């Protein structure tokens, strides 16, 4: 079964991000395909490479980056939500006249069309957050 995942709550403030991560890991382990996870609203905050959680806590961004590397999951960050929260890739930083980017490895910025496409191309769309 192909499963698409939508995450719309931020890391460290809501269980949705951890639940989505554990769900994706379990789905992949069970033999399902998870071609894409779309991060929307505050969920885009998962993608910043500048978060520095305490050493004794999980690093949510690194967990997602590792999962994407290991399983080839496409981690897409909504461009409008990302820009509002100061999350930029190199191209967007240059386009907006900013002097730095902060998107983590394994994540990419794109539009809502990627969410629509995911909904069309998967058998199920599972959402985490409001």
Residues involved in catalysis: 78
**Distance separating alpha carbons of residues 45 and 33, to the nearest angstrom:** 24
DSSP states along 9-31: S-TTT-THHHHHHHHHHHHHHTT
* Closest of 100, 118, 1, 120 to residue 48, by C-alpha: 100
Centroid of chain to Cα 119: 16
């Amino acid at each position: 079964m192909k499963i698409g995942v939508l995450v719309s709550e931020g890391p460290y403030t809501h269980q949705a991000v951890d639940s989505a991560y554990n769900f994706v890991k379990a789905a992949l382990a069970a033999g399902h395909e998870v071609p894409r996870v779309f991060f929307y609203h505050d969920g885009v905050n998962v993608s910043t490479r500048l978060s520095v959680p305490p050493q004794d806590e999980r690093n949510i961004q690194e967990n997602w980056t590792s999962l994407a590397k290991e399983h080839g999951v496409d981690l897409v960050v909504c461009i409008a939500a990302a820009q509002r929260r100061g999350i930029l890739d190199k191209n967007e930083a240059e386009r907006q006249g900013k002097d730095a980017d902060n998107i983590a490895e394994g994540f990419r910025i794109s539009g809502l069309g990627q969410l629509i496409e995911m909904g069309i191309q998967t058998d199920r769309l599972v959402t985490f957050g409001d």
